[in-house]
Amino acid sequence: MSKNIVVAIDGYSSCGKSTLAKALAKKLHYIYIDSGAMYRAVTLYFLRNDIDLKDESQIAQALQDIHLNFHSRDYETHIMLNDEEVSEEIRQMHVANSVSPVAAIHAVRVEMVKQQQRMAKSKNIVMDGRDIGTVVFPDAQLKLFMTADPLIRAERRFKELTAKNPDLTLEDVFDNLAHRDYQDTTRAESPLTRAHDAIILDNTDLTPDEQLAFAVEKLQPFL
Q: What is the pLDDT of residue 118?
A: 81
Contact 43, 92 (CB under 8 A): no
The pLDDT of residue 75 is 62
Distance CA 51, CA 182 (A): 23
| 182 vs 73: which has the higher pLDDT | 182
Give the mean model confidence (pLDDT) for residues 54-71.
Answer: 93
Average pLDDT on 183-212 reads 92
- Rounded mean pLDDT, 7-17: 93
| pLDDT per position as a tens digit, 76-121 | 778 999 999 999 999 999 999 999 999 989 999 999 998 888 877 7
Count of CB atoms within 10 A of residue 35's CB?
A: 26
Q: Give tens-digit pLDDT for 149-189.
A: 999 999 999 998 888 888 999 999 999 999 999 998 998 87
Q: Could you tell me the CA-to-CA distances from 66 to 44, 69, 79, 114 in Å, in that order?
A: 11, 10, 12, 13
Q: What percentage of residues in the chain have a pLDDT greater than 70?
A: 97
Q: Locate the DSSP E strands across 12-97.
A: 31-34, 68-73, 76-81, 84-85
Report the pLDDT value the prediction gives residue 116, as an integer from 0 to 100.
84
**pTM exceeds 0.95 for this model:** no
Predicted confidence (pLDDT) at residue 1 exceeds the cutoff of 50: no
